[in-house]
Structure formats: structure tokens, C-alpha cells
Structure 1
């Protein structure tokens, strides 16, 4: 459904920086009341102060059940309900699977998949009573094509894409829209908070899309009732080729990886 954002009541996770902060600011600029969630209380308070009266800072580690429950409870109490949940919080690990650990695997899945899953579960009863409600999940091109040195990240984003697609049908009976955002390379904070950073390829993060661009396209998708949007020229090219010639993509990626490791 098409929707206006004026007066809408929203939660944005990962709102202390990067794409989450940019989305929160864009929603507030459109007239929404926004609950900002992130682990770092001082950064979150600074973002809330920057946004002004339409922002509510709720420090939360979304991997913790008590924090998720408090986030939903506080938002509903302060705003009188909930119309929009935007799951942005995420973490990555840059390195090959063979030298990774179970702990890294579990942490990436916990942050990127289980946390938004359970936050959605808590939010659904409130969204069902909301005004033009929607769930919006920030995934990744890695959720449509697994990439080397991003094994845990790719797995978590594939899982989130699958959940989002399944929920789209389920949430129809509540008239809750479910939106999937699939961005390519973005100049966000992800690379500054990696659980490991020993991949060999040179990734030009600074040349990625700006968080503000991703936020603008995300908010537009929510307003227009889009099901899914893919962002970034490189991501569009890779996923288009992968759709029709996946074995070609496999060969090109394998060749690139072998070349990197021949330099040892």
C-alpha cells in the first residue's frame, strides 16, 4: 500500500550511525516519530538530539530478549502504538570460512538474523493494530549471492531474505507490508566494526553508496509500498549475471580468489 509518514510511529535499529542513523533522520524529516535503538547510549542520545522532538532514544542490544522487550514496550508506551519497524542493525566478518570460528558464526547470525526475527515477533501484535503498518528489513546483495570472505554474513543475510519473503505472505492477513532492501557496497560503518578483518581483496568502501542515498531509497520504498528494491550498479550487474549465468559468476569469483592467494 502507498503510505504517508506524517504521524507514523517507527522503530529503527542500528540507529547510532551509518544507514540506521540516516533512515531515522529521513523518517523524522517526513514527520514520523522515531524510536532509535542501538547499544551505544551516548551516540544514540547525540542522534536523538540532532533529530529533535520526534526522536526517542532507547539504548538496546537487540540480541538480548530483555532489551528487545523493553524497546517495544517503551516505544508503544511513549508513542501510543507502532506502525513501522525497520531492522538495520548488523555486523560482519571479513575472512575465509576455513580460518573462522564457531563463535564468529554464531555472533553474526545472532545479530543479523535471530535478533530481527524475534523483534518482529514482538512487534507484530502492535503493528497489526497500527496505521498502514510495515516491516522493513535491510539485507544485502550477499543475501542474494553468497560472496567469498563473507561466509557468515552471506548466510545471515540469505536467512533474513528468506524470512522476509515468507513473512510477506503471512503478514497479508494483518495488512502489514513487508519490504526487503538489498543494497550493494555502501560507505557505512560496517567495515569499522568487523568481527575479523583479514580478507585479502581490496574493497573500496569509500566509493560505495552513501548511507543517505540508501536511506532515501528505503524511505521511498516504504512510502510506495514496494516489495523489494536492489540498490547499487555493481550489485545489480552481479545479480543480473548470476540470475542467468551462475556458473560464469562461480568461475570468475574462483579465479579471483585463486589469484589473490597465489601472491602468498
Structure 2
């Protein structure tokens, strides 16, 4: 299998790259930080290729995505995990909110759209996007970030309906993580708080193999999301 991970420099993306590589997958590693990608590449047992991609540079991101596909010699799976999260302090919220939309909405669309066109032409493929459990509830401290993740979930569902309508053998998986301990999130103890990115990535890999439509990371968040819907 040949896979590309957008957002492979840290967190779930980094750990998922390791799992895919251990399972005989050639991996394309993409993020803005090329140095971190090169460091990760040295840890992988299988074939891997790196490319610095900034999803906010739309035409450049499309071009570099295809360069990475060419290096891999094709593409079966793309995981779109790049994203930013900011709180939005009043009255200085505009720049934070704007960045969240540029990366999490427009940047996501650029990669997903280009991958979808490639897979439709090819006749098969698998698109995996990372939304969030916060799809179920709004948050006044980071409204643009929350809205961007709702967009990702809805956009993935729209893609799924589109490919089903044309009978294409293209799978779409929505990953909905809760709190994950990574470089941006302070590690905390407690049952309902963060989990290590290694554990999250392992569950993502299982969802990919099973070609699930969506999965909560971890499963406990499916119950919590139901509770949020019930009391919101």
C-alpha cells in the first residue's frame, strides 16, 4: 500500500506513519516542518518520502502533493491530519479565527479535493480526515476552531455521498479524536482526559484497515458525544 500523511510531523500523524511503515506501507510524509519530517523518516523501517507542504498555499500544495504521489509511484490512502487550534481572546480574535479557517477549512479542502480527483480517475482510494468530538458541541473560547471541525465532518460526509452516487470504490473515514497528549497539549492524568498519540494512532490504523465511516478516538468519546447531543 502507498499512503500520504498530511500533518506527519507530530501527534497522531507521526505515530501513524510509524505504524503504516511497520506494516509494509510506503509512506509520503508531509507537513510544513521539513526538519521534523526528516527526523521521522530516519525512524521508519520501510520506504518513505518527505515533502514540505503548507496547505494554506493552495496551488503550491496541489503541485507538491502530486510530486509526492509521483515519488511514491501511486497512491492508495491519504490521511489529512494537519490543523491548528486556537482560543479566540476578545477583542483580538480575528487573526486566530482567520488562521483556523485558512488551515482547517480551506487547507483541508485543497488536499481532499485533489486527492478525490486523483482517486476518481484511478477508480479507487481511501480518504481519511481528522475532525473532532467537538462536532457535537460549540465552544465560546474557540468558535472558529470548533466550526472548522464541524465543516470537516460535514465535508467528508458529502464526499462519501458523492462517490457513492457515481459508484466509485473510494472509502471515506472521519476520525473524531478527543484529547490527545502531544506537543501542543499538556499531558494530564485522568480517565476522561488525554491519551498518548501512540494509542490514538493505533486505533486510527484499525479504523483504516476496517474502512470505517467514522470512529471516535477513544471509544469512550462516542458515549460522551451522545451525552453532549442530549444536553446541548
Report the TM-score, using the length of structure 1 for normalisation. 0.79
Could you tell me which of 73, 76, 81 is aligned with 1:83?
Answer: 76
User: RMSD in angstroms over aligned alpha carbons?
Assistant: 2.1
The question of 1:164 aligning with 2:150 is answered no
More divergent stretch after superposition (31-40 vs 227-236) = 227-236
Instruction: Kindly state the Cα deviation for residue 220 of structure 1 after the two structures are TM-superposed.
Output: 0.8
Distance across 2 between alignment mates of 1:87 and 1:205: 28
Change in CA separation of 1:211 and 1:25 when aligned onto 2, cut-off 3 Å: same
Q: Per the alignment, in what secondary structure is the counterpart of residue 86 of structure 1? A: strand
Distance across 2 between alignment mates of 1:53 and 1:30: 9
Instruction: Kindly state the Cα deviation for residue 10 of structure 1 after the two structures are TM-superposed.
Output: 1.0
Q: Per the alignment, in what secondary structure is the counterpart of residue 133 of structure 1? A: strand
Unmatched tracts of structure 1, length 5 or more: 1-7, 193-202, 247-264
Higher Rg: 1
Q: Contact conserved, 1:13 with 1:86, CA < 8 A, in 2?
A: yes
Number of aligned residue pairs? 228
Distance across 1 between alignment mates of 2:150 and 2:196: 23
After TM superposition, the runs of 4+ consecutive aligned structure 1 residues lying more than 6 A away are: none
Could you tell me which of 111, 129, 132 is aligned with 2:103?
Answer: 111
Instruction: Kindly state the Cα deviation for residue 99 of structure 1 after the two structures are TM-superposed.
Output: 3.2
Aligned to 1:22: 15
Instruction: Kindly state the Cα deviation for residue 190 of structure 1 after the two structures are TM-superposed.
Output: 3.3
The question of 1:244 aligning with 2:227 is answered no
- Any residues of structure 2 matched to 1:128-207 within 5 Å, and which? 128-130=120-122, 133-172=125-164, 173=166, 174-191=168-185, 204=188, 207=193
Report the TM-score, using the length of structure 2 for normalisation. 0.89
Unmatched tracts of structure 2, length 5 or more: none
Change in CA separation of 1:16 and 1:68 when aligned onto 2, cut-off 3 Å: same
Instruction: Kindly state the Cα deviation for residue 21 of structure 1 after the two structures are TM-superposed.
Output: 0.3
Q: Per the alignment, in what secondary structure is the counterpart of residue 186 of structure 1? A: coil
